[in-house]
Structure 1
Amino acid sequence: MTAIRPLHLAAEIGGPPRYDAASHIALARLAERGTLDFVTLADSFARPGPDAAAVLAHVAPRTGRIGLVPTVTTTHTEPFHVSSAVATLDWVSRGRAGWHAHVSTTEAEARLFGRRPAAPPAALWREAGEVADVAARLWDSWEDDAEIRDVATGRFIDRDKVHHVDFEGSTFSVRGPAVVPRPPQGRPVTVVDATTGPARETAARHADVVYVRASSPEQAAALREEIRRAATAHGRDPDALRVLVALTVDLGDAETAPEPGLVSGPQLAGRGTYFRGGPVDLAELVTRWYRAGAVDGFHLTPLTPARDLERIVNGTVALLQHRSLFRTFYPGGTLREHLGLPRPANRYALARRSTEAATR
């Protein structure tokens, strides 16, 4: 069957730790030239290197349209700080921010903080879901028109439009409100890698974009349908989810055929199914899986970022554009617009208006 939804493409711009801003900026601009939906920057407490959210905040004013999605580890990190960092990135990028929720599972990482031992994955992902929940509440804690900025009266905010969230989680509590006004997107895009079982539940409840790993279009379609069913069970609209296949790509040898169907492709340190071949081969795979209706798109992790991303943009993406499968320009300015996702209504504004209407 022919897919009717737009194809979505994203790429990782990380790799070995780099401390020069120019390399990250250059890769983000390259991806933007290919009109990719967003770029990601991986991060964890186990690897050296600068903070991903801070790096992409530096990249933001040097790019114009592409979405910026850093990995943010919810374990050992205060949810209030997570919310503030992502909201800040959304402001400095003028509505192009997302965040990839990640957990920390090792004792070595726990010892960096010294506050608690490592917890089982199920508990960590339950906590990550609570962080995603309270972050959304904090982003909503300022209504869109809460700022007055009236110099004559000295009023900066309308206090009736700034709300306490009073959230009690399993490992933390947050009163709120946020210190950053509501982000341009309302709520920045939440990304969850649903490869593992415990993460899948969190993805179904809270994610806007979900990564899966599959070695065939049939497997990808089954995983996509499973996540959509779970989202529906939680009262969500499954059409408000974007399910992307995560794929590590090695385009170093254009003459080497890809692994057939990816079935025998090796795993690279848990980073995803491995594809080896040329840009045209990759375009064929994307076309076949997408036209089968198996996926909403792909998140591509280049094995060698500078080399492979250039071949993705100038080879794979160019061919997909020639086939009219992928856009040639950004129709909007925010990441939510790139993904075809609506700007969420503010829950506290809705409740306040409902209360006001009931008392009239």
Structure 2
Amino acid sequence: MSALQRQPHFAVALDTPEYTPDAPGPFDAAHYTRLARLAERGTLDFVTLGDTFARPGPDALAVLARVAPHTAHIGLVPTVTTTHTEPFHVATAVQTLDWVSRGRAGWRAEVSRTPAEAALFGRRPAAPADALWREATDVADVAGRLWDSWEDDAEIRDAATGRFIDRGKLHYVDFRGTSSTGEPFSVRGPSIVPRPPQGRPVIVVDATEDAARETAAARADIALVRAEDPDTATAARAELRARAEELGRDPDRLRVLASLPVELPAPGDAAGLAELLTDWHGTEAADGFHLRPADPVRDLARLVDGTVPVLRRRGLLRRSYQGTTLRDHLGLARPASRYATGKAS
């Protein structure tokens, strides 16, 4: 099904582009809860929250774990870097967010590039972008294996016999990858967290830069592309889908969203944004849109109250959520555990 035949997907960034420690709400989880609930009222697919070692700020995954109990439908996608962090910890943290949110978690994989960030850890120097993203590809690979390492029915919870799990349904992961400095790393499992409600949380990669595109094509469920015009977005989508197919993936399981800056200083701008999104969708430039407000408090309110009603009238946005998980919102099937499938075959 083409993008023209299918309703586009919509997501919004909650982070303030110009971050300052004394800005309203940067350390207040209630601030992000209000924004996420507003985006949920607009029936958007998911929200993203950025994170980086380069500046002070709250931990994006922890913030969205705090937001999760106060929302019911919208997907929650924090940035978690794969550089200078342990792959096992990344996988289990995202896995836990999927449980806390009851199947609404995603993970926006990112890399850490600068010498200043590397100095915070003191373990290894900064590396070139290509090497960082090769490492990220391996981390995403082993995360999926850890998420699969418990079969869906591995938990028994039989108080009478004292059996909590069926050990035959836990699978050993012995993964070997390559770090950004070229040194090997290993990850062993199974995970310490049961299989997530979604089977595997949704992986998001910003594929704007060439260095990240291989990771997106190989491992992402959603690729974000910053584009200034539909032609650029169309070309990027075609490239990503073709590469995903070359890597043995079904390209229809990869959603490519155009990531667009949004500034709505005047109320009438909301209707203009609806026109823009309608035009882009008509060209099949993308499977949807990731909107980056200049001022999340102001712009998100105008987006929900002004842009969303126009999109709904045009049949481009749902009026209510039909499913309960982020995969449901995105039209992505829940994957079976690779180990259970292999066992059955």
TM-score (normalised: structure 2): 0.94
Residue equivalent to 1:248: 261
How far, CA to CA, are the matches of 1:177 and 1:293 in structure 2? 41
* Distance verdict in 2 for CA 1:28–1:183, change over 3 Å: same
Match of 2:175 among 167, 185, 207: 167
Residue equivalent to 2:5: 4
Residue equivalent to 2:31: 23
1:10-89 pair list within 5 angstroms: 10-15=11-16, 16=19, 18-89=26-97
How far, CA to CA, are the matches of 1:321 and 1:353 in structure 2? 44
How far, CA to CA, are the matches of 1:347 and 1:299 in structure 2? 30
Residue equivalent to 1:335: 326
Deviation for aligned residue 1:2: 8.1
How far, CA to CA, are the matches of 1:249 and 1:242 in structure 2? 21
Q: Please say if 1:223 is aligned against 2:223.
A: no
Residue equivalent to 1:108: 116
Structure 1: gaps spanning 5 or more residues:
256-277, 355-360
Match of 2:128 among 116, 120, 123: 120
How far, CA to CA, are the matches of 1:14 and 1:196 in structure 2? 21
What are the superposed Cα offsets for residues 9-67 of structure 1, whole Å, 9 maximum, x if unpaired? 00011113511111110000000000000001110001211100000000000000000
Q: Is the 8 A contact 2:91 2:143 kept in 1?
A: yes
> How big is the alpha-carbon RMSD for the aligned residues of Structure 1 and Structure 2?
1.1
Structure 2: gaps spanning 5 or more residues:
180-184
Q: What amino acid maps onto 2:9 in structure 1?
A: H
Q: Is the 8 A contact 2:12 2:292 kept in 1?
A: yes
Greater mean alpha carbon deviation, residues 225-234 or residues 213-222: 213-222
Deviation for aligned residue 1:254: 4.6
Q: What amino acid maps onto 1:12 in structure 2?
A: A
Q: Please say if 1:92 is aligned against 2:93.
A: no
Residue equivalent to 1:269: none
How far, CA to CA, are the matches of 1:142 and 1:289 in structure 2? 42
Q: What amino acid maps onto 1:168 in structure 2?
A: R
Q: Please say if 1:193 is aligned against 2:197.
A: no
Residue equivalent to 1:317: 308
How far, CA to CA, are the matches of 2:30 and 2:208 in structure 1? 32
How far, CA to CA, are the matches of 1:301 and 1:47 in structure 2? 19
Greater mean alpha carbon deviation, residues 143-152 or residues 213-222: 213-222
How far, CA to CA, are the matches of 2:57 and 2:3 in structure 1? 43
Residue equivalent to 1:290: 281
Partner of 1:83, secondary structure, is helix
Deviation for aligned residue 1:119: 0.7
Residue equivalent to 1:145: 153
How far, CA to CA, are the matches of 2:334 and 2:342 in structure 1? 17
Q: Aligned pairs, how many?
A: 332
TM-score (normalised: structure 1): 0.91
Residue equivalent to 2:290: 299
How far, CA to CA, are the matches of 1:250 and 1:113 in structure 2? 37
Q: Is the 8 A contact 2:224 2:290 kept in 1?
A: yes
How far, CA to CA, are the matches of 2:69 and 2:230 in structure 1? 38
Deviation for aligned residue 1:218: 1.7
Q: Is the 8 A contact 2:3 2:287 kept in 1?
A: no
Partner of 1:169, secondary structure, is strand
> Runs (4+) of structure 1 moved beyond 3 Å?
none
Identity %: 66
Q: Is the 8 A contact 2:267 2:302 kept in 1?
A: no
